[in-house]
Amino acid sequence: MPERGLDIELRDQQGNAHRSGVLESNPQSGTLVLAPPADRPADRPFEPGTRLLVSWPEDNTYWVLPVLLVTLRASGPAPLLVVEVADDAWREERREYVRSSLDADVLIDFEAEDSEGDPGPRDVPAELIDLSEVALRGIVSQDYRDWLVAQMPVTIRVDLAGDLFRIPSVVLLAKPAARLDLGLEIVVLFDRPVDRVEALRDHLAVRAELNA
């Protein structure tokens, strides 16, 4: 759990990131009291029962903790958020690569067989969160949770403005996403070297310029 006084990032059910901070931390009860998100209007607080992701850097890694908003505590112009830990925290490695949010169509093919020897699902749609030259993060339906296990081989098909990339990859992790549809947030690592990586870098660079 994050300690009292830490600045954190709070991801909501739409995948938006908000700046907040830990005012109280109680590992024994599994509860946190969080400051009101600095960039969210005071008259539009989160509703109790909302699932959120608390994220913070520590020891050159990035921790992510799923929480449930239990209640709002009146305090000043905006209420404080009292949350309970909803699942185990996991660690995401911060990499020195260009990362970019992109509008792209993403499909996943599972390169494995089930217990009866039938091929895994293909053409599984994923909603893209972000993309780099080494990894992809996205949202996939809970229907595929039995296939989304660590080191599962997959092929990622990413269509960037009509330019199709087929990238052999492995699943790094899959965790419940902070969304109303209860999808799974996945992180997929690309096998390297990535075919046509220079073309992929060009797409990332264009998007970075547009977002600058």
In the listed set 64, 93, 122, which residue is the last one of a domain according to the structure?
Answer: 93
Across 111-145, where does the E strand assignment appear? 124-132, 135-140
How many Å apart are CA 112 and CA 29, to the nearest integer?
41
Same domain, yes or no: 113 and 83? no
Could you tell me the CATH number of the domain that includes residue 199? 2.40.10.220
Q: Which residue has the tokens 């700046």?
A: 19
Q: How many CB atoms lie within 10 A of CB 122?
A: 12
**pLDDT at residue 60, as a whole number:** 62
- Asked if residue 58 belongs to a domain, the reply is yes
In the listed set 58, 75, 93, which residue is the last one of a domain according to the structure?
Answer: 93
- Asked if residue 163 belongs to a domain, the reply is yes
Same domain, yes or no: 22 and 117? no
**pLDDT at residue 178, as a whole number:** 64
Do 167 and 190 form a contact (C-beta atoms < 8 A)?
yes
Same domain, yes or no: 35 and 80? yes
How many Å apart are CA 124 and CA 18, to the nearest integer?
30
Helices (H), 61-100: none
Could you tell me the CATH number of the domain that includes residue 18? 2.30.110.10
- For 7, the token pair is 């600045």
Smallest Cα–Cα separation from 53: which of 78, 83, 79, 29?
Answer: 83
Structure pTM?
Answer: 0.56
Task: For residue 113, give the 3-state DSSP assignment.
Answer: strand
Same domain, yes or no: 16 and 32? yes
**pLDDT at residue 19, as a whole number:** 87
Instruction: Count up the domains in the chain and report the number.
Output: 2
Same domain, yes or no: 80 and 156? no
Q: Which residues of the chain have pLDDT under 70?
A: 13-15, 42-43, 59-61, 91-102, 178-182, 208-212
Calculate the alpha carbon distances from 185 to 17, 57, 66, 93 in Å: 15, 19, 11, 15
Identify the DSSP state of 62: E
Same domain, yes or no: 122 and 25? no
What residue numbers bound the domain in which 76 lies? 7-93
What would the DSSP string read from start to end of 149-212? Answer: -TT-EEEEEEEETTEEEEEEEEEEEEEE-SSTT--EEEEEEEPSSPTTHHHHHHHHHHHHHHH-
- Asked if residue 116 belongs to a domain, the reply is yes
Task: For residue 2, give the 3-state DSSP assignment.
Answer: coil
Do 66 and 85 form a contact (C-beta atoms < 8 A)?
yes
Same domain, yes or no: 130 and 195? yes
**pLDDT at residue 180, as a whole number:** 55
**pLDDT at residue 175, as a whole number:** 81
**pLDDT at residue 26, as a whole number:** 94
**pLDDT at residue 96, as a whole number:** 44
**pLDDT at residue 158, as a whole number:** 96
